């Protein structure tokens, strides 16, 4: 990975949320929230109508109005109109693979210390949800290399990311293939600051990641099951090239706020995945010996090759992926026609 030129001129158009200022425009997504907190996301069109059982209105009644406006239907129902945040966009965008939830993406950016100008590698792009958070963090002068094994998933991710940023992000490079093949070609030894692995068997790529990471660089893996977590941690220790790994998960519980009736909501976002982080040791450094002893039987015999089905993952059908790609292509044409996406993308 090569650094961007520090003297490079600023782009003519800002990226991402910076493009979404001023009055609401045709072609933009708008999130409508009613008095009960129910949300609807619509794409504003000059000839569009919004219909619910609580009334309807023409999109032209919103176009040209400032963000944060309240529109009232003829029946007296009110809707608050705001542009979606990144977390809203991620949860409503077309997807092939499952997305990294915003609660986990925030943890990844913070705990992997993704900073402006960082050189980051991401393996396992999926639908592009995490890529958007990483690109927002590294900025236009950083670098993000995203490696995806499936061409169709990479296409979906490109469509979603370019829709959010309004065009191709100058810091983003998407390559299709196996990380073990792509990373040595794309990044020299010690040239990467951070690596984020969102894949079935991250332990299979520890050697190539260790070669690319600079001393002190952070490796973060996102895994779904406890067995994956255990295997990743033990293989990290076995390489003797990383610090002692740390693992955790996060759960989010909203609260009901109504006068004195303040209580936890009945539903919450529970387990979505485990995060495990470690840092690259200096070449030749020997990690400190662990003092504690593992329990008997803590290390079973090595298992056979893992499959998504064995880990309880639901396979994504080719039919669904084709449908999502069609949706992405249709959205791209619409955004380009309305001038919300640059032609070269």
Contact partners, residue 267, CB within 8 Å, separation at least 6: 254
**12 band by pLDDT with thresholds 50, 70 and 90:** low
Q: Is residue 75 part of a domain?
A: yes
Q: Say if residue 93 is in the same domain as residue 168.
A: yes
Rounded Cα distance between 63 and 30, Å, is 10
Q: Say if residue 53 is in the same domain as residue 113.
A: no
Q: Which residue has the tokens 């084709």?
A: 322
| Higher pLDDT pick, 5 / 53 | 53
What's the pTM? 0.80
Query: Is residue 344 predicted with pLDDT exceeding 80?
Result: no
Per the structure, how many domains does the chain have?
2
Measure Cα distances from 31 to 38, 50, 62, 204, 342 in Å: 10, 12, 12, 42, 23
- Please answer whether residues 218 and 196 qualify as being in contact, where contact means their C-beta atoms are separated by less than 8 angstroms: no
**What's the confidence (pLDDT) of residue 5?**
44
Q: Which DSSP symbol is given to 211?
A: H
CB atoms within 10 A of CB 342: 15
**What's the confidence (pLDDT) of residue 7?**
39
pLDDT in tens, 143-173: 999 999 999 999 999 999 998 998 899 999 9
Q: Say if residue 127 is in the same domain as residue 78.
A: no
Query: Is residue 345 predicted with pLDDT exceeding 80?
Result: no
CA-CA-CA-CA torsion for 166, 111, 256, 87, nearest 10 degrees?
10
Q: Say if residue 158 is in the same domain as residue 193.
A: yes
**1 band by pLDDT with thresholds 50, 70 and 90:** low
**What's the confidence (pLDDT) of residue 309?**
62
- Please answer whether residues 90 and 74 qualify as being in contact, where contact means their C-beta atoms are separated by less than 8 angstroms: no
Contact partners, residue 41, CB within 8 Å, separation at least 6: 29, 30, 31, 32, 84, 88, 92
Rounded Cα distance between 143 and 130, Å, is 14
Q: Say if residue 190 is in the same domain as residue 244.
A: yes
**What's the confidence (pLDDT) of residue 303?**
57
Q: Say if residue 100 is in the same domain as residue 163.
A: yes
Measure Cα distances from 196 to 62, 116, 187 in Å: 40, 16, 15
% of the chain at pLDDT higher than 90? 58
Say which CATH number the domain at 237 has. 3.40.50.150
pLDDT in tens, 209-243: 999 999 999 999 999 999 999 999 999 999 999 99
**What's the confidence (pLDDT) of residue 11?**
47
Domain boundary among 230, 258, 279: 279
Rounded Cα distance between 87 and 89, Å, is 5
CB atoms within 10 A of CB 269: 14
What range defines the domain where residue 72 resides? 21-82
Rounded Cα distance between 283 and 258, Å, is 57
pLDDT in tens, 38-76: 888 888 999 999 988 777 899 999 999 999 999 998 888
What is the average pLDDT value for the chain, to the nearest integer?
A: 86
Q: Say if residue 51 is in the same domain as residue 137.
A: no
**9 band by pLDDT with thresholds 50, 70 and 90:** very low
Q: What is the DSSP string of 113-167?
A: T--TT-EEEEE--TTSHHHHHHHHHH-TTSEEEEEES-HHHHHHHHHHHHHHHTS
Nearest to 130 by CA among 87, 180, 168, 177: 87
Rounded Cα distance between 126 and 130, Å, is 9
Q: Say if residue 170 is in the same domain as residue 249.
A: yes
- Please answer whether residues 100 and 170 qualify as being in contact, where contact means their C-beta atoms are separated by less than 8 angstroms: no
pLDDT in tens, 72-112: 988 888 999 999 999 988 888 887 777 898 999 999 999 99
% of the chain at pLDDT higher than 70? 86
Say which CATH number the domain at 63 has. 3.10.330.20
Mean pLDDT along residues 306-332: 75
Mean pLDDT along residues 177-192: 96
Q: Say if residue 125 is in the same domain as residue 228.
A: yes
């Amino acid at each position: 990975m090569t650094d961007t030129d520090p003297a490079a001129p600023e782009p003519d158009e800002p990226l991402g949320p910076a493009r979404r200022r001023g009055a609401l425009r045709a072609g933009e997504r708008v999130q409508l929230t009613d008095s009960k907190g129910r949300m609807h996301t619509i794409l504003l069109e000059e000839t569009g109508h919004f219909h619910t059982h609580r009334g309807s209105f023409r999109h032209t009644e919103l176009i040209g109005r400032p963000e944060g406006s309240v529109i009232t239907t003829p029946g007296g129902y009110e809707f608050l109109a705001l542009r979606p945040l990144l977390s809203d966009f991620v949860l409503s965008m077309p997807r092939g693979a499952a997305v990294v939830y915003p609660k986990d993406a925030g943890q990844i950016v913070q705990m992997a210390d993704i900073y402006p100008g960082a050189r980051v590698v991401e393996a396992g792009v999926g639908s592009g949800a995490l890529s958007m958070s990483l690109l927002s963090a590294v900025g236009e002068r950083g670098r993000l290399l995203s490696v995806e094994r499936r061409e169709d998933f990479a296409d979906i991710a490109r469509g979603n990311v370019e829709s959010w940023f309004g065009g191709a992000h100058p810091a983003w490079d998407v390559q299709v293939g196996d990380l073990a093949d792509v990373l040595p070609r794309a990044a020299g030894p010690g040239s990467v600051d951070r690596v984020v692995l969102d894949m079935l068997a991250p332990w299979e790529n520890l050697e190539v990641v260790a070669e690319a990471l600079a001393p002190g660089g952070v490796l973060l893996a996102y895994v779904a099951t406890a067995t994956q977590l255990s295997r990743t941690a033990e293989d990290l220790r076995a390489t003797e090239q990383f610090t002692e790994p740390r693992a955790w998960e996060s759960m989010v519980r909203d609260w009901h706020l109504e006068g004195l009736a303040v209580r936890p909501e009945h539903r919450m976002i529970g387990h979505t995945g485990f995060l495990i982080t470690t840092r690259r040791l200096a070449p030749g450094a020997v990690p400190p010996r662990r003092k504690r002893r593992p329990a008997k039987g803590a290390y079973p015999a090595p298992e056979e090759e893992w499959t998504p089905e064995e880990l309880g993952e639901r396979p994504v059908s080719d039919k669904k992926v084709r449908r999502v790609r069609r949706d992405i292509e249709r959205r791209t044409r619409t955004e380009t026609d309305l001038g919300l996406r640059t032609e070269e993308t």
